[in-house]
């Protein structure tokens, strides 16, 4: 693991218009790590994802591979090696599965970018539905497509926001396996998740967010042992 | 029957001309949420640029260069005007395009004057292509139809078969996500705005000499354009296409109809009532008199029974 984090977030504030949502978040993701970002609904986890991708107004410091990126636009963040799988999956309706994948690859995609055939060889179920309108896929298939789409440009890190939301327990397990498989290919993951069991099982490091700030940072084991944090910030 | 077919073809031609304008307008609205009040002004600029270029060289020079010039101007306005105003919300954008329409109209008056300019059909296309039942069909009308159909096919191919087209379709639903996937969405918006107004410019090039090139032409076309995009459904390209053809054909058909309600009653063997009193005009109005009002009537009815328009997805 190199000393310079792949992603380093320091004192990040984010806003929706006049609404101040993030109040100075600190977070690191190192190469090869799966980092889980936990917390109750509404504490600002999805906003942090959007702030990292520059989709919402942000202030503070966000470094990617040591480079300051706070002034960059979303497409420039992606071109630095970040992939984004949004909360609602945001599959493009009216386009086929394959067209969705094609759009996953931007014009600056480097040598690490995936080909459509590589995606299909890893995920054969997508190949079977390559010509299907992506909007009619099941929730699990849409999640798989959204993640593969994010992999197409060969990112170093993908930000995955609530991948198991609305999915059946069996599919939740499959999504967990999918992320573990992605991590094995050398891609780091920043995972925003409500389902603690799955997140704690696959994560190398865990952050807990509360009131727009990170309130805990440690290993899954440390979090399990910290009953005060669990009670105060995670239990409903 | 021959006359009817002629009228139908002319209506189709007018409808296609309307679609050249409404397609860009509806695409810009769907993508950027900007209801471009100045859209018809770019149609006018296309006609004036083509007039100017044809006075330097030939009509063909204008046909190629005028839409390009309009497109570049539109892209520049998006980049340095709309994009800046965008930060202040849709109302500011709306007011910006509203002001732009007036600005362009006044500039046109300043440069080319208040009277119509002699923008003429090119000599090479100024002949009768064929005559049926004593009615001449001009080669220029056939040329206009050809250009309109070619543009329709080109836009369709661009949207369905190219990477840029895929990006446009994707940006219709999730522009932020497309942006975060590494695609330069603001540049895509600029291209769509430039391309959309270039299509309006092309309509001006081929329509300006067929109709009249004068400073009021944008206002005249502008109102009907909004009827079409609302009638077709805000944001629906197919809806705009259907609405353009329906309004184009219906208006052209109505213009040729002189039968009044009194005539109709008489033809059915009845006696027309005395045309007196408050509603006397109804018995003597011909459909041709109602043609200009027809689209607005259609709009009002549609807004009551189906507010989202023919194929629109939004309720307002």
Chain segment B299-312, per-residue pLDDT in tens: 899 889 988 888 87
Asked whether the beta carbons of residue A53 and residue B173 sit closer than 8 angstroms, the reply is no
CA distance to partner chain B, nearest, from residue A109 (Å): 9
Chain B contact present for A75, CB below 8 A: yes
Chain A contact present for B229, CB below 8 A: no
Q: Pick out chain A residues at pLDDT < 70.
A: 1-2, 236
Residue B1 to residue B251: CA distance in whole angstroms:
18
Give the percent of chain A with pLDDT over 90: 68
| Alpha helices (runs of H) in chain B, residue ranges in sequence order | 2-32, 39-56, 59-77, 83-86, 90-112, 139-161, 163-173, 175-180, 185-208, 217-232, 237-255, 261-267, 280-284, 287-290, 294-305
Give the percent of chain B with pLDDT over 90: 61
Kindly report the average pLDDT of chain B as a whole number. 90
Asked whether the beta carbons of residue B170 and residue A78 sit closer than 8 angstroms, the reply is no
Nearest by CB to B178, from A79, A94, A103: name it.
Answer: A103
- Torsion-angle region of A6 (φ positive above 0: left; ψ -120 to 50: alpha; else: beta): alpha
Asked whether the beta carbons of residue B183 and residue A75 sit closer than 8 angstroms, the reply is yes
CA distance to partner chain A, nearest, from residue B185 (Å): 8
Chain A residues lying within 8 Å of B236, measured CB to CB: none
Nearest by CB to A95, from B170, B177, B183: name it.
Answer: B170
Please name each of the domains of chain A with its CATH number. 7-233 (3.40.50.300)
ipTM of the prediction: 0.93
Q: Would you state the pLDDT for residue B276? A: 64
Name the pairing type of β-strands A205-210 and A213-218.
antiparallel
Confidence of residue B122 (pLDDT cuts 50, 70, 90): very high
> B250-278, pLDDT tens digit by residue?
999 998 888 887 788 888 877 766 666 66
Confidence of residue B316 (pLDDT cuts 50, 70, 90): very low
Chain B contact present for A116, CB below 8 A: no
Which of A82, A98, A103 is best to mutate for the B interface (most B CBs within 10 A)?
A103
Please compute, for residue B286, the number of CA atoms within 13 A of its CA located in the half-sphere on the CB side.
10
State mean pLDDT over B148-165.
92
Asked whether the beta carbons of residue B182 and residue A109 sit closer than 8 angstroms, the reply is yes
Q: Would you state the pLDDT for residue B116? A: 96
Taking CA–CA distances from A49, the nearest residue in chain B reads B180
Chain A contact present for B176, CB below 8 A: yes
Sign of CA pseudo-dihedral B281, B283, B284, B289: positive
Chain B contact present for A181, CB below 8 A: no
CA distance to partner chain A, nearest, from residue B166 (Å): 7
State mean pLDDT over B191-211.
96
Chain B residues lying within 8 Å of A75, measured CB to CB: 179-185
Nearest by CB to B182, from A94, A95, A108: name it.
Answer: A108
Taking CA–CA distances from B177, the nearest residue in chain A reads A90
Which of A75, A95, A190 is best to mutate for the B interface (most B CBs within 10 A)?
A75
Residue A38, beta-bridge partner list: A208
State mean pLDDT over B188-212.
96
Residue B143 to residue B138: CA distance in whole angstroms:
9
Chain B contact present for A106, CB below 8 A: yes
Chain A residues lying within 8 Å of B181, measured CB to CB: 75, 78, 83-84, 103-104, 106, 149-150, 153
> B55-81, pLDDT tens digit by residue?
987 899 999 999 999 999 999 999 999
Asked whether the beta carbons of residue B180 and residue A149 sit closer than 8 angstroms, the reply is no
Is pLDDT above 60 for B50? yes
Asked whether the beta carbons of residue A92 and residue B173 sit closer than 8 angstroms, the reply is yes
Residue with the two structure tokens 């936990």 = A38
Residue B175 to residue B233: CA distance in whole angstroms:
20
Chain B residues lying within 8 Å of A84, measured CB to CB: 177, 180-181
Chain B contact present for A135, CB below 8 A: no
State mean pLDDT over B157-182.
94
Residue B312 to residue B233: CA distance in whole angstroms:
4
> CB–CB of A14/A50 below 8 Å?
yes
Residue B97 to residue B77: CA distance in whole angstroms:
10
Taking CA–CA distances from B183, the nearest residue in chain A reads A75
């Amino acid at each position: 693991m190199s000393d310079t984090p792949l992603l380093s977030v320091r004192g990040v504030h984010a806003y929706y218009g006049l609404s101040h949502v993030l109040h100075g978040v600190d977070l690191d993701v190192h190469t090869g790590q799966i980092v889980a970002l936990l917390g109750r609904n509404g504490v600002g986890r999805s906003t942090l994802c959007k702030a990292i991708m520059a989709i919402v107004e942000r202030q503070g410091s966000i470094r990617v591979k040591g480079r300051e990126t706070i002034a960059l636009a979303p497409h420039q963040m992606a071109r630095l090696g970040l992939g984004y799988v949004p909360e609602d999956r945001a599959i493009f309706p009216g386009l086929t599965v394959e067209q969705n994948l094609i759009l996953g690859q931007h014009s600056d995609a480097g040598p690490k970018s995936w080909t459509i055939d590589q995606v299909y060889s890893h995920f054969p179920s997508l190949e079977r539905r390559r010509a299907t309108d992506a909007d009619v896929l099941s929730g699990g298939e849409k999640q798989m497509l959204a993640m593969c789409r994010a992999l197409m440009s060969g990112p170093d890190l993908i930000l995955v926001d609530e991948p198991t939301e609305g999915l059946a327990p069996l599919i939740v397990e499959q999504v967990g396996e999918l992320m573990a498989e992605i991590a094995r290919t050398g891609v780091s993951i920043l995972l925003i998740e409500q389902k603690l069991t799955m997140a704690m099982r696959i994560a190398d490091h865990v952050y807990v967010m509360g009131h727009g700030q990170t309130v805990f940072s440690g290993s899954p084991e440390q979090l399990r042992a910290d009953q005060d944090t669990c009670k105060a910030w995670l239990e409903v | 029957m021959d006359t009817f077919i002629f009228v139908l073809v002319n209506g189709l031609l007018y409808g296609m001309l309307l679609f050249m304008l409404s397609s860009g307008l509806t695409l810009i609205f769907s993508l950027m949420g900007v209801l471009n009040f100045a859209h018809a002004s770019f149609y006018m600029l296309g006609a004036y640029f083509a007039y100017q270029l044809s006075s330097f060289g030939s009509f063909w020079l204008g046909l190629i260069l005028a839409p390009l010039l309009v497109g570049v101007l539109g892209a520049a306005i998006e980049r340095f005007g709309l994009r800046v105003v965008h930060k202040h919300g849709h109302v500011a954008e709306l007011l910006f395009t509203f002001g732009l329409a007036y600005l362009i109209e006044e500039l046109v008056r300043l440069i080319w004057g208040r009277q119509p300019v002699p923008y003429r059909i090119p000599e090479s296309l100024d002949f009768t292509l064929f005559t049926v039942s004593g009615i001449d069909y001009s080669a220029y009308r056939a040329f206009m139809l050809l250009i309109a159909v070619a543009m329709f096919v080109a836009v369709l191919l661009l949207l369905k078969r190219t990477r840029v087209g895929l990006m446009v379709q994707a940006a219709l639903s999730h522009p932020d996500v497309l942006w975060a996937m590494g695609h330069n969405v603001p540049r895509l918006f600029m291209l769509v705005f430039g391309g959309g107004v270039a299509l309006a410019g092309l309509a001006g090039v081929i329509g300006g000499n067929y109709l009249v090139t004068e400073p009021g032409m944008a206002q005249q076309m502008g109102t009907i354009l909004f009827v079409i995009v609302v009638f077709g459904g805000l944001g629906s390209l197919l809806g705009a296409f259907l609405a353009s053809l329906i309004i184009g054909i219906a208006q052209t058909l109505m213009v040729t109809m002189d039968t009044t309600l009194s005539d109709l009653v008489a033809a059915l063997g009845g006696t027309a009532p005395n045309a007196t009193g408050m509603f006397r005009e109804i018995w003597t109005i011909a459909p041709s008199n109602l043609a200009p009002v027809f689209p607005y009537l259609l709009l009002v009815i549609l807004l009551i029974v189906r507010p989202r328009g023919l194929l629109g997805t939004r309720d307002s």
